[in-house]
Every structure is written in C-alpha cells, then in structure tokens.
Amino acid sequence: MRNLPNLITLGRLALVPLMAWYAARGIYAVALPVFLVAALSDFADGYIARRFKVTSRVGAALDPIADKLNMVVATLVLAYQSLLPLWLAAAIIGRDVIIVAGVLAYRRLRGPLEIKPTRLSKANTALEFGVLLVVMGEPAGWMDAHAWLPILFAITFVMVVASGAQYVWMGTRMAFFSRR
C-alpha cells in the first residue's frame, strides 16, 4: 500500500503520451477517456496517500509534474488543432511558467520554499480539466457544447489569471517578509 500512490502517479505519467497520440490524430473518443482517467487518478492517489498516510518525497515531486504535464500537453494539442483558443492556451501555460519561474527565483535568492496549493488554485485546476474534457467531448461526439464554449473559455481565463495573480501576490509577500 505504501507505494500505491506513486504507482498511480507513474501510471498517470504513462497516460500522457497515449492521450497526446490519440488527440493529435483526432481520435477523441479514445483521447478523452484516457485524459479523464489521468485526471481522476490524480484524486485517487492523493486520497490514498492522505488517508493511509503513505506520502513520500517522490510522490510529492512527481504528482504535480504528472498533473501539469497532462494539462500542458492536452492544452497544446487542442490549441494546435484550433479547438482551444490560443489566448486561453497561452494563459493556462503562462500561469504555470510564471509560477515555476517564481519558485525557482525564490529558491535561488532566498532558499527552500514550501508551496501548498490554494483553494483557488485547486478550483482552477478542476476548471481547466473540465474545460479540456468539454473541448475534447465535442469532436468525440459526447456532447454539443459549441454554443456555450465562449462563456466557458472566458470564465476559465478569469480563473487562470486570478489564480496566477494569487501566487504572484503570495510569493512577493513571502520574498518581502523573508528579507526582514
């Protein structure tokens, strides 16, 4: 049981190229369930790790990498195929790049940094996964969301920007107060 969350995370990492391959070929009836399994397994490994107190440094490092890799690859493929607007793809990826750059800069200048996802960030991640599922669901023939996709894209953009701004604000405050 101790290694189960890590095995689930490794499985999630293995699903990313599979999802990308099917999505790049427009086979969304397969890409969507693979993406969904990867998203749901994120909740499963986190629940198991917390519930049974089987967390590990490897898991703590790999879990966010698996999440972001899945999200970034899906975002890039869908944007390349013009299924996701470029401005939204740029916001989703840009937010993560800014957060990672801020963490690396902080660690270089100030030392170790422990970051925990905020509620807004968790809501943002859930919304991003949901939007990507809906975007894949259209060409997969699972739903007709064309009429309300622009509204969903706008809401997602606002959430991405708000979540990114929250991290920038928190990081700036931590850097400022750590100097004293």
Angle at Cα 4 formed by Cα 96 and Cα 64, nearest 5°? 5
Q: What percent of the chain has pLDDT over 90?
A: 66
- The tokens for 133 are 């599922």
- Output the pLDDT for position 61: 83
Q: 172 is in which domain, residue-wise?
A: 4-178
Length of the chain counted residue by residue: 180
Q: What is the DSSP string of the chain?
A: -TTHHHHHHHHHHHHHHHHHHHHHTT-HHHHHHHHHHHHHHHHHHHHHHHHTT---HHHHHHHHHHHHHHHHHHHHHHHHTTSS-HHHHHHHHHHHHHHHHHHHHHHHHT--------HHHHHHHHHHHHHHHHHHHHHHTS---GGGHHHHHHHHHHHHHHHHHHHHHHHHHHHHHH--
The number of distinct structural domains making up the chain is 1
Side-chain half-sphere CA neighbours of 112 within 13 A: 1
Q: What is the mean pLDDT of the chain?
A: 92
**Distance from C-alpha of 21 to C-alpha of 31, rounded to nearest angstrom:** 8
pLDDT tens column, 110-154: 888 877 889 999 999 999 999 999 999 999 999 999 999 999 999
pLDDT tens column, 38-63: 989 988 888 888 889 888 888 888 88
- The tokens for 132 are 């990507």
Contact 179, 66 (CB under 8 A): no
> pTM for the whole thing?
0.90
User: Residue 168 maps to which CATH number?
Assistant: 1.20.120.1760
What type of residue sits at position 49?
A: A
